[in-house]
Amino acid sequence: MNGRFHPERIVLARTLSGMTQKQTAEESGLSQAKISKLEKSFLPFAENDALAIAFATGMPLSFFEHTGSAIPMSELTYRRTSKTPMRELAAVSAECRLLSETIDGLATTLGIANPRGKLPYETYYQGVTLPLEEIEAMADATRAALGVAPSGPVRNVTRSIERTGIPVVRLSSMDHSGSGRSEGVCRPGDKEHRWFVGYRGDVSGDRSRFTKAHELGHLVLHSRRLPGTRAAMEKEAQEFAGAFLFPSLDAGMLSRSMPLRTYMNLKSGWGISISALIERAWTRKAIDADRRKSLKIQMSMRGWSKQEPVAVGPEKPILYRQLLQAAYPDAHGGVDWLKAEDSTGAPVYSLSIWAGIASAQVAEPA
């Protein structure tokens, strides 16, 4: 069989493009029966077939020269329930696969060392949930490793993570996700590929900061150990995010007598949502369950449960774009998008989103 083009990539291409077999057949001019046989390796995947499917799905031809299928959802931290549509899960896992491939390729091209060793990691308490004291200690150690002061706000969560060499990337498959359950994703247990932090871009700045800190928590706490359940993983990452953004040295200012307006003022200075601050106070036992419930009722009565006051501006990642510029520079100090597309196997549309550049801003070839 022809070994240049890999048939398992056909399903990945369809998933990335949101297309069914029937739609791919209609757009490519191939029969649905033939596409099915190609996907199952019952027929050799010839260049003319690869060209037709590449045209239909919007992928470059080089996409089919790479190997690998979608990442199993069990390896990703994407939160889901029994009601999360399979189409949503498939789209996220497919985009994570393609992103991971490009990050590995860029690191190899540029000779960049793996940044895994730059973060502390938790190895104790295998199979059980970490106590809050240990999570706070790991959050403090992570601040130190990232060059963040032990006390005070984290001015830019995104830049702090990226300084370690871990790209923070907006994923188009997560924007407007139907389930509304997850706003971030990473792959903490993966030892073969480079880490990344993926996030949903259509949420407020404070929520996005917390999401990135949450995924950072997964990388620190769950790269070499796992608690008993997935729910325990999420609880640990949630508590890590609160401790990272509002560390134990500062948590003493939280008290039962603190009114809701003070939480609002803290949000302004710390870039943390009012809701997350209330949870941090409750986790630290600065407030009891009754006070927590009272504050949440007050938020709901003001309409703050759906939209909080005090806008926190978005943080813009820069590392992935810098990697593209270094690996595939054009004559004007930007990115040679066609060369990047051909080399990585990822379409310009995806590369531009991951680089934080609107697709309309990507220059067409002269």
Ordered DSSP codes for 62-116: GGGGS---PPPGGGS-----TTS-HHHHHHHHHHHHHHHHHHHHHHHHHTPPPGG
- Opening angle at CA 235, ends 76 and 212, nearest 5: 55
Q: Rounded to whole angstroms, how far apart are CA atoms 244 and 116?
A: 19
Strand, coil or helix: what is 318? coil
Q: State whether the Cα torsion 232-238-239-244 is positive or negative.
A: positive
**In the chain, where does the domain assigned CATH 1.10.10.2910 lie?**
109-301
Strand, coil or helix: what is 169? strand
What type of residue sits at position 166? I
Q: What pLDDT was estimated at residue 38? A: 98
Q: Rounded to whole angstroms, how far apart are CA atoms 12 and 93?
A: 9
Sheet holding 184-185, edge to edge: 168-170, 197-199, 184-185
* Second-level CATH architecture of 109-301: Orthogonal Bundle (1.10)
What angle separates helix 205-222 from helix 132-145, to the nearest 10 degrees? 100
Average pLDDT over the chain reads: 93
Q: Are 140 and 247 in contact (CB under 8 A)?
A: yes
Q: What pLDDT was estimated at residue 181? A: 63
Using alpha carbons, select from 239, 234, 269, 236 the residue that is nearest to residue 253.
269
Percent of the chain with pLDDT over 90: 86
Q: Rounded to whole angstroms, how far apart are CA atoms 146 and 79?
A: 26
**In the chain, where does the domain assigned CATH 1.10.260.40 lie?**
1-69
Q: Rounded to whole angstroms, how far apart are CA atoms 261 and 131?
A: 30
Asked if the 1-69 domain carries CATH number 1.10.260.40, the reply is yes
Both structure tokens of 94? 């497919």
DSSP characters for 187-227?
-TT-SSS---EEE-SSS-HHHHHHHHHHHHHHHHHHSS---
Distance from CA of residue 246 to its chain's centroid? 22
Enumerate residue ranges in the chain where pLDDT < 50.
1-2, 360, 363-366
Q: What pLDDT was estimated at residue 178? A: 56
